[in-house]
A and B are shown apart, each in its own frame.
Chain A
């Protein structure tokens, strides 16, 4: 009798193996029970128009494949689709502006929610300017610059503000937030800029409007072609994150995919940022600097004041400002950097959703007014 079989067939070991097997079965039952329990108790609302799921519903939804999340959110009918699927499209570009009742100079903001909040703060602290906003949720600098190139300040702005933020700077080389915002993919698309022989070149996304997106998403062949373009140019595209499978039904598997996604995001950040700051040689920083330079040249050519708004997110120190400072100084580009108002290491300057407090936004708005006034005087 071999050692293995004598081990198995000794009565004591046979009993232990039986216990181990029973334990294994109970562990499997336990895992299945937890999986089902999470799916039942924290089921995500099926209605795409529901914009207020609970924090736990959102938490346990993270990790569902991008395709499955988009399928749940997307409807042909604008009134039936999830509101987030309508945001951020280049065509037509969405502009938030007040009707012009005064001759106040217009300041147009391009960027993410921080830029929108700065615009609102500007309206609160001063009656002398009319803010105009071209924004998208979580917009990266490449989206903002793409939007600027399509809008050009509405041909009537006194100043144009381009917002960049440290938290999503590593995503400046992506083509859509659906590839990097794993927990909450948004389908809108972005221009992909890259540098060739010192010149800033652009690759336009496969679709730029909600209608084009819906058509592409519901046509397997077109969707495959679009995803191939993302795979080619988007540095954060991952087929494992995107492609739907039956495992989407398992809450534990979703948590595992979420962990993988977080790992992917962390490694993307680590390629650009470490404890000493952003890497000046990374493609992302080179592209950011080139975008700023081109933006300021275009705006000046259009007789507008270009202003860079640098959002130093909590925990990111003033790294983004430091990374951009050489080009700001070299080209004498006006800027407002949040670290001048609030320390990026002081949680009290921020609200839980990572935005600045209203007080900080108002201080930033005053700093922006000073910059505009100073540049107007110079002109």
Chain B
């Protein structure tokens, strides 16, 4: 279910009304059910992966901390997993809906052919887990903790590996073998990438790693944990929440207050503004330029790349704003994921501002684990490169994402070497605004080139476009169309807003406007959204990651 769809608006209204009417515990059960409906709207079968991820990490968390499970902690999740296997794998809810109308096709409602496999698989998996549990119980504490963590890491990365990276590595290996003359048979699997798998597996992993590091106590309540993994506002594209931030909010009754609700509504509106009016309004131009099979000029590449920078920012931060806004209406705060990234003056600052939940995840669980800054400059650069290459690969199973990660890593390494050679003065006065503006624009150019690598369809296109940037300098024969009216109007509102926010260093600056001005400002956002509603609604870019 897309945020920018009528289905979601109706869905959320129902959820919100039910939420207001229910007591705390039932609110959590209802939210869990709603989250599963939200995710299953796309493909119900992949909810089983969410269920596996949830069950295994719930057990692992408790085993790391306590060394054993109570009977209810063992049986409840096992029953949940078995039931999930039956419901999500054996039933076909699409049979209840045909050609846009409700229907009841009993013959196809049950996937009879998979029932024996599901039964054998579920029983086998649970028996295997029980066997491992019995062994873990016998192990001494440090070993048990480590083994438990390994189970969590293997499960989560295994899901990612099979569903996201298997074909990529097999195809790359096959290509490499074929290019040296060794014929291989294709092992390509015909599998679909489950939406949001990179987000919920990383989120679940952070839970077990934090418990292993004794930074967080596991929850005893299975359904609270299940809600933490599947919480619908951030299930499909983040932010990748930390357990210590989200689980305490889930486990305690929540107070809805005016300020939080007002802020939530504004974030939803602003998210729709960025996504519907701007991102979807520039997307056709970007698609034209990067999809062109004809002549492309220097100005086409420049325009296409800058517009893609606008698109990906408005698309992803728009999603995050809607996620944070809906969550605020439910009384739960999600972390800030974007903090004006295009105002960064260097690569380090950029990664403190862009996709903050991922960059801090990579920092805490990968970069620091590799040794972080504790070594000489070469050691630090090695850690940065490994982290950024894997960060690039996280975005997608394709070599251009790896190249993008490499490029970002290289920028960070160069910056580290620079900082190492010319350390910043501790009490240096702020730079004049003209220097800051130049640094922002200069670094934005580097960011944009990174987006070219990210968006390109092939290596050939990267080479062609890079060559055009260098050799075709100044060719202003623009061949693509203009962005949609909503994007032009939207950007003429968004850019001053971002500059004011940066200048004042205040994300809530609009709340200090006089009421009439605030009302007109919100009305302007609504008008631009309405204009943008005619744009082709595109899926959020980060869903594919």
Identify the A interface with B (CB < 8 A). 13, 16-17, 19-20, 22-31, 33-34, 59, 62, 252, 255-256, 258-259, 262, 266, 315, 342-343, 345-349, 352
Contact A352 B481 (CB under 8 A): yes
Contact B288 A59 (CB under 8 A): no
A347 — which chain B residues lie within 8 A by C-beta? 288, 292, 294, 479-481
The majority secondary structure among interface residues of chain B is helix
Instruction: Return B58 CB to nearest CB of chain A, in Å.
Output: 35
Instruction: Return A46 CB to nearest CB of chain B, in Å.
Output: 24
Contact B523 A59 (CB under 8 A): no
Contacts A20-B258, A30-B524; A255 near B531 (Cβ below 8 A): yes
A259 — which chain B residues lie within 8 A by C-beta? 530, 533-534
Cα A20 to Cα B265 with chains together (Å): 12
Instruction: Return B73 CB to nearest CB of chain A, in Å.
Output: 36
Contact B536 A266 (CB under 8 A): yes
Does B1 sit at the interface, judged by CB under 8 A? no
A-B contact pairs, 12 of them (CB 8 A): A22-B515, A23-B522, A26-B523, A30-B521, A30-B522, A30-B523, A31-B526, A33-B520, A252-B527, A259-B530, A342-B294, A343-B294
Cα A59 to Cα B533 with chains together (Å): 13
Instruction: Return B518 CB to nearest CB of chain A, in Å.
Output: 6
Cα A27 to Cα B522 with chains together (Å): 6
Contact A349 B520 (CB under 8 A): no
Identify the B interface with A (CB < 8 A). 258-259, 262, 288, 291-295, 479-481, 485, 515-516, 518-524, 526-527, 530-531, 533-534, 536
Contact A252 B515 (CB under 8 A): no
Contacts A345-B294, A347-B292, A348-B295; A26 near B515 (Cβ below 8 A): yes
Contact B518 A23 (CB under 8 A): yes
Contact A262 B534 (CB under 8 A): yes
Contact A345 B527 (CB under 8 A): no
Of the candidates B291, B292, B523, B534, which one forms a contact with A27 in the assembled complex, judged by CB atoms under 8 Å apart?
B523
Contact B530 A252 (CB under 8 A): yes
A28 — which chain B residues lie within 8 A by C-beta? 523
Contact A27 B530 (CB under 8 A): no
A62 — which chain B residues lie within 8 A by C-beta? 534
- Select from chain B the residue with minimum beta-carbon distance to A34: B527
Cα A256 to Cα B533 with chains together (Å): 7
A24 — which chain B residues lie within 8 A by C-beta? 519
Contact B523 A34 (CB under 8 A): yes
Instruction: Return A132 CB to nearest CB of chain B, in Å.
Output: 33
Contact B534 A346 (CB under 8 A): no
Of the candidates A31, A315, A342, A348, which one forms a contact with B523 in the assembled complex, judged by CB atoms under 8 Å apart?
A31
Cα A17 to Cα B258 with chains together (Å): 8
- Select from chain A the residue with minimum beta-carbon distance to B532: A259
Contacts A30-B524, A343-B293, A352-B481; A23 near B530 (Cβ below 8 A): no
Cα A59 to Cα B524 with chains together (Å): 18
Contact B522 A255 (CB under 8 A): no
B293 — which chain A residues lie within 8 A by C-beta? 343, 345-346
Contacts A20-B258, A252-B527, A345-B294; A26 near B536 (Cβ below 8 A): no
- Given contacts A34-B524, A347-B292, list 17 more A-B pairs with CB under 8 A: A16-B258, A16-B259, A23-B515, A23-B522, A26-B520, A31-B523, A33-B523, A59-B485, A252-B527, A255-B533, A256-B530, A262-B534, A266-B536, A345-B294, A346-B294, A346-B295, A347-B479
